[in-house]
Amino acid sequence: MASARALRTWTWLHTWSSLVCTVFMLLLCLTGLPLIFHHEIGHLTGTEVEAPDIDHRGPRASLDAVLQAARARHPERVVQFVSQDEDDDRIWFVTLTPTPEPTDDFRSVAVDARTAQVLAEPRFDEGFMWVMFKLHVDLFAGLPGKLFLGAMGLLLVIAIVSGVVLYAPFMRKLEFGTVRRDRSPRVRWLDLHNLLGIVTLVWALVVGATGVINTWADLLVKAWQVETMNTLLAPYRGQPVVPQARRGPVQRALDVALAQQPHKRLSFIAFPGTAFSSPHHHTVFLRGQTPLSSKLLQPVLVDARSGEATAAPTLPWYLTALLVSQPLHFGDYGGLPMKILWALLDLVTIVVLGSGLYLWLQRRQPRPLPDEARAAPGPAGATTRSLSEPQGTLR
């Protein structure tokens, strides 16, 4: 009796956690599919900025000359970040906004790192891929949208775990991979739903869990600022943001940071007063050169006035988890083969989600099929019909 009661509890938990999140998970799977190949799509559509093939043998342009060229395009804006692509250091991307505070109102200027010539002003805040990105990240609702999708991700994890618990008794008298093609369409879809769900189990847990972590990014950065940055900035307490006219050369800040960490490469520089820096520093974020370490960041705080490195704090574990989860969520660790695998698993998951919704809707029919009650054998004390219900969505 206790076993039957526990089974009913797991069934209820799986059914309703799945039903609540299924529509949103379908949306995330559909929008996530093109995002897996965002670089490849950009190259095909011509929206990716590529460095011109020129014969340049002299010294590269100073970063300050690069910034001057970008500011000339938008003199009313301030620089928030400057970055380089992981695979191509011939282009600087300069991000300019109306104020240093976080905003969706930004302009990007791509500048040739060799000549300081402006190459393009790509718009990352419009077009099909931007719509897909915003729907996938926050539903166009900012932080509340991110946290809502994070809650849906937690329900997905619950649905997966409860689905695994229900899978063992469901398959007690069936061989693994059995799809009873001689039974009703509903039973065939139930078998296929459970088979595909258990096959994609690990992937679904990984993508679901990393997706939840990614929705907390803004809060984790705020926690880091309160926990670590405030301590490091104690000597600067009460001082205003360093004005542009009194800041030292940014190229010097970069050189100082690279001298501190000679085996690392630049990821991006956050300017004073922006979300990833302090009011008094250029914060240079460096990354490693291996596939894993290239996803991890080491900040170096360089005083914006004096150009001296004042700290190189180690990121806390929760930001490290965030940095690891972001590329893993989109399959960015193994190049194109891993992206293709991620896309195939994403398509299978869409089938699992859709079939779970179909099975639940079929359950609501007033007259179940005659063989439906025998779809799954159950332990003593549990009705066989309770095990034959779809239990929502098992990914």
Q: Is residue 376 over pLDDT 80?
A: no
Query: For residues 125 and 83, which has the higher predicted lDDT (pLDDT)?
Result: 83
- Among residues 258, 259, 304, the alpha carbon closest in space to that of 281 is found at 304
pTM: 0.81
Per-residue pLDDT reduced to its tens digit, 6-45: 888 888 898 899 889 999 999 999 999 999 999 889 888 8
Query: For residues 369 and 203, which has the higher predicted lDDT (pLDDT)?
Result: 203
At residue 156, the pLDDT reads 93
**Mean pLDDT score across all residues of the chain:** 85
Q: What is the mean pLDDT of residues 329-343?
A: 87
Q: What is the mean pLDDT of residues 165-192?
A: 76
Residue 92, both tokens: 């600087």
Listed by start position, the domains of the chain span 2-39+140-213+335-388
At residue 170, the pLDDT reads 66
Per-residue pLDDT reduced to its tens digit, 289-327: 887 788 899 999 999 999 999 999 999 999 999 998 988
What counts of helices (H) and strands (E) characterise the chain?
A: 13, 8
CA distance 391 to 163: 7
Q: Is residue 386 over pLDDT 50?
A: no
pLDDT band at 272 (very low <50, low <70, confident <90, very high): very high
Q: Tokens 């991620």 label which residue? A: 342
Query: For residues 343 and 232, which has the higher predicted lDDT (pLDDT)?
Result: 343
At residue 79, the pLDDT reads 95
At residue 116, the pLDDT reads 95
What is the distance of C-alpha 66 from the center of its chain? 30
| Residue 2 backbone zone (phi > 0: left; psi -120 to 50: alpha; other: beta) | alpha
